[in-house]
Structure 1
Amino acid sequence: MTPSTPADPPRLEQPVVATTAGRVRGFWRGGCATFLGIPYAQPPVGPLRFQAPVPHEPWEGVRDATTQGATPQRGATGITLIPEPSVPGRSTLNVNVFTPSPSPDGALPVLVYIHGGAYVSGSIASPWYDGRSFARDGVVVVTVSYRLGFDGFGWIADAPSNRGVRDWMAALEWVQGNVRAFGGDPDRVTIAGQSAGGGAVLTLLSMPAAQHLFHAVWAMSATIGVITPEESEADGRRAAAVARVEPTVAGWRALTERQVRDAAADLVAMRDLHGAQAVLSDGLRIAPAVDGDLIREPVVRSLARGVGADKPLVIGTTDDEFSMIVDDHRRWLRWVPVAPVLAVLGLPRRRRRPYLAANAALRREHGTAAAIGRFVTDALFRRHVARIARARAARPGAATWAYRFAWVSPTRGWSLHCLDVPFFFDVLDAEGVELIAGDDPPQPLADAVHGAAVDLALRGAVDWDPWAAGSTMSRVFDHPAPASREQADAYDGVLPLT
């Protein structure tokens, strides 16, 4: 959806909204009232470190919400596809709110966004997570920070499990109690996320304890895995041994933030093809884990049992999420048969031949490197689309729409991880977008992707056929025109992996 023309006139007064903890002051940008760094929980420091989130204490007067709050992410994280700055400070459990109507008289749909970053990085201070275009189109946006890395997800003997997941739930509880004051309807909340954020919203969809907190789901490039209680404990004990502390709250609290990160460094996700091999075999080690309490069983199994079946779901990926990890290996991969590489990457023999047959056209047209990159993408991301859509299709009333984002980056040569995010938010002019989408990213593609997200928030549905028994129709987002089309076999290439 294209920006309004002419632009909304500037508003001189600053909007003030009363939350359950106190009043906050934001600022206007055209027709979007923006509130930054609103705390939904107490700072997770001191006696609250490694504990479940606690609602923020009330404050007196009017709290300034015109600058980004502190982020759980610390320091520079190296070259990333999405610019996600770190903001220092102690009060890191915050939300940003973007609304066209900061008044309790409104009843607008709400979109709550959970950022990605492999559960160890990411920041709601990113200019790519600006909700101004959703606000323009009548949707209130809330972006959520949460504890990352070992602080959020590591096993500690006497600490609450899945603290990062508890943060998501606390933020959603804050939305239920406060979004009406910002013009939103707490009975029309869509949760959305990309990468680890996509895994987050699917985790929430699969949790009986979270069902009252939202009403629809959009999962982008979701990465999900199965960390058993035994594996989680083993990883936690190993990290404590590295740090030379007892695996207890007292032991971990004796360490600085940096020391905690260093102790858990071996659990962090892949950075190259070798790392991809480890993740393909073992999965993410810092992530939500089955704990028998908050998360009772793996995501796909829970969804197949019908948990969340009453919530509409849109799920999809880019075509070549992680194919860029083969860029440095193209020269030698051209001389290597595909099958042995797939074997090294852990694809069992019984699945290898069917998978190669299903992707023969890709290999012929684009070569071995593209085929290897596609396998990594399929194993980590795309197969989950087919598994979840098929599982939910077997449940009466569970509406699931699948999509592919197929447009290829003119600067990176792939339809790669994160490329779809600025199109989803319709922020093609944001800082850093040109590095991944070129100097002239196609606005019609943003209109299609963002427009579909607005549709889901507004009416709980999108305008293409859902998966059903015997039907696997998916929307393909691409450019040039048509910016979107339907395709019945969009995920056939991953079926041998499911």
Structure 2
Amino acid sequence: MIEKLKSLCVVSIAAIVTIVPFTQPSFAEKKPELMVKTKSGKVAGKAQGDVRVFLGIPFAQPPVGPLRWKPPVPAAKWHGVRQATEFGPRCMQSKLYADMVFRDPGTSEDCLTLNVWTPAADKNAKLPVMVWIYGGGFLGGSSSEPRQDGTDLAKDGVVVVSMSYRLGIFGFFAHPALAAESPQKAAGNYGFLDQTAAMAWVQKNIAAFGGDPAKVTIFGESAGSFSVSSQMASPLAKGLFIRAIGESGGAFSSGGLPYKALADAESQGSNFATTVLSATTLEQLRAIPAQQLLDAAAKPPPGVRFAPDVDGYFLPESVPAIFAAKKQNDVPLLAGWNRDEGGINEKITLELFKADLDKQFGSESAELLRLYSATSDADVVRAAADLASDRFIAFSTWKWLEAAVADGSQPVYRYRFDLVTPADPNHPGGIAAYHSSEIPYVFGALDLLQGYNWRPEDYKMSEIMRKYWTNFAKTGDPNGDTLPKWPNYKADSGWEVMHLSPDPAAEPDRNRDRYLFLDKVWGK
């Protein structure tokens, strides 16, 4: 870890000698202002070392009653000072993911709050801002997870913001009656609109926390990364950010998280309303208790999945179509995925792998077998892990990167996270760079997680990733700080990929032929 300089004071009866290093003022030299005035009212935060923390700040009115399934409405003003020292409730969700640990008071439909971590002692610092969007399949997640704590990331000279957004049936339910009452004739994507509203709040308020609204980077993982690609595509987010980081996922294929056409989403919602909820009007639907709605969507297992749609408003067209027409928010992009997104099946055999390829790809299976380099039981474990990763997350992220290069004018950087993380309660084998395993490294939050035996290489990896990420947020280029050179992702440099490990190195994409072939098969 990079050692922070500290002021050293030597005190004696005869004299006071103070030795001060040449650095910017810290909280040790200037008392932090823990009360900040936002456009809605004053908030009082807390200090965590050299970082000021403000939690659970409302950015929208509670989306309940008549505001259920409507675009978020800016938060009402309050009088006095609002305490901002505890996380707000997480948005309505079932317990879906064993690796998610929360520090909030529980679930509620009244959940549209955000959090700010700032190293700035006052509002004049004008620091770059990083706005985090959590993942969870658009079904779960919360900004209160310890692995997403912004304290250490903020110490690298950025203001960190994270928000909650509506999920599942509350965030992505579409119905013909909702489209009919909408001025834009749109339905669904309320979770996306929450994200956009939080970014709009940042534009209006972050200067009071020492952030620069003209230097906002959005970043997210899994569904949060899909969200980043969607915000890049949406005209509603224009001007709200100038850089984007995607960790594992992009809205560019029909694989893991497909986006429906509006008519299909409305049909799904209408059928669900009448057959499951026995409701035919919006009044009836909005009167159903939140927990009853959540339970109904979860039965029978695995339940009904309400996901984003191409609503004609937030997304006028599909995300790929918007990029192809060069209508996206054209900003520098840093994106990639983890080596083992789909996990590792150590019991797979070459025979089983061939059968899987035959089932999926038919006459194309022989070429896929060659491209995945599967020739024996010894190497088929790696091949199967790579195929699972591509099917789940990697291919869609690759498509996003390719579109950003082909249809944009800004620099693009690609990575793969290769560090095999130590065993943990959810992955006792400790044999892979799993989906989402990079998150605590990015945030510098390793020591906030329980059940891990972190190694020196883990702390080194975290320092490297924090520097690359915050450099990108500051300048649009991850390079600097004596870090290994991270080249642009483009044809004339061999489509180089930064392999992130404790000793990171860039090399030409060794799997490009594979992705080009998958594009012919999956991109049809």
Contact 1:14 1:27 in 2 (8 A): no
Moved more, 57-66 or 233-242: 233-242
Corresponding position of 2:76 = 57
Query: Over residues 336-378 of structure 1, what are the superposed CA-to-partner deviations in whole Å (9 max), with x where a residue is unaligned?
Result: 431221344xx333543332212116x6585445433322210
Contact 2:134 2:223 in 1 (8 A): yes
* 1:421 and 2:439 correspond: yes
* 1:338 and 2:353 correspond: yes
Corresponding position of 2:388 = 376
Q: Which amino acid aligns with 1:418?
A: S
Query: Over residues 221-280 of structure 1, what are the superposed CA-to-partner deviations in whole Å (9 max), with x where a residue is unaligned?
Result: 11533321232123212322442323542232232222212332369879xxxxxxxxxx
* 1:99 and 2:118 correspond: yes
Q: Which amino acid aligns with 1:195?
A: S
Corresponding position of 1:137 = 156
* 1:450 and 2:483 correspond: no
Q: Which of 260, 277, 287 is 1:227 aligned to? A: 260
Separation of aligned partners in 1, 2:31 and 2:177: 51
Separation of aligned partners in 2, 1:175 and 1:365: 53
* 1:400 and 2:420 correspond: no
Q: 1:496 to 1:30 in 2, by over 3 A?
A: same
Q: Which amino acid aligns with 1:353?
A: A
Separation of aligned partners in 1, 2:510 and 2:499: 8
Query: Over residues 137-174 of structure 1, what are the superposed CA-to-partner deviations in whole Å (9 max), with x where a residue is unaligned?
Result: 11000001001111000112233431111101110110
Q: Which of 219, 228, 234 is 1:207 aligned to? A: 234
Q: Secondary structure at the match of 1:80?
A: coil
Q: Secondary structure at the match of 1:323?
A: coil
Gapped regions of structure 2 (runs ≥ 5): 8-25, 179-186, 252-257, 424-429, 480-485, 520-524
Separation of aligned partners in 1, 2:201 and 2:62: 15
Moved more, 8-17 or 404-413: 8-17
Q: 1:336 to 1:290 in 2, by over 3 A?
A: same
Corresponding position of 1:302 = 322
Separation of aligned partners in 2, 1:46 and 1:396: 42
Q: Which amino acid aligns with 2:475?
A: R
Contact 1:157 1:247 in 2 (8 A): no
Separation of aligned partners in 1, 2:190 and 2:393: 24
Corresponding position of 1:157 = 176
Separation of aligned partners in 1, 2:86 and 2:457: 28
Q: Which of 488, 494, 499 is 1:466 aligned to? A: 488
Q: 1:2 to 1:287 in 2, by over 3 A?
A: farther
Q: 1:83 to 1:295 in 2, by over 3 A?
A: same
Deviation (angstroms), 1:457: 0.7
Q: Looking at CA atoms only, which structure, 1 or 2, has the larger radius of gyration?
A: 2
Contact 1:227 1:285 in 2 (8 A): no
Query: Over residues 20-58 of structure 1, what are the superposed CA-to-partner deviations in whole Å (9 max), with x where a residue is unaligned?
Result: 000000011111000000000011112212221111110
Q: Secondary structure at the match of 2:388?
A: helix
Q: Secondary structure at the match of 2:176?
A: coil
Q: Which amino acid aligns with 1:416?
A: Y
Separation of aligned partners in 2, 1:268 and 1:293: 32
Contact 1:235 1:285 in 2 (8 A): no
Q: Secondary structure at the match of 1:146?
A: coil
Corresponding position of 1:178 = 205
Deviation (angstroms), 1:175: 0.4
Moved more, 40-49 or 198-207: 40-49
* 1:496 and 2:523 correspond: no
Alignment of 1:268-283 (within 5 A): none
Contact 2:96 2:140 in 1 (8 A): no
Corresponding position of 1:2 = 2
Corresponding position of 1:236 = 269
Paired-residue identity, %: 30
Corresponding position of 2:337 = 317
Contact 1:157 1:248 in 2 (8 A): no
Q: Which amino acid aligns with 1:2?
A: I
TM-score, structure 2 normalization: 0.83
How many residues matched?
A: 471
Separation of aligned partners in 2, 1:396 and 1:193: 20
Corresponding position of 1:279 = none
Q: Secondary structure at the match of 1:109?
A: strand
Separation of aligned partners in 2, 1:458 and 1:143: 18
Moved more, 195-204 or 423-432: 423-432
> Aligned-pair RMSD on alpha carbons?
2.6
Q: Which of 289, 292, 295 is 1:262 aligned to? A: 295
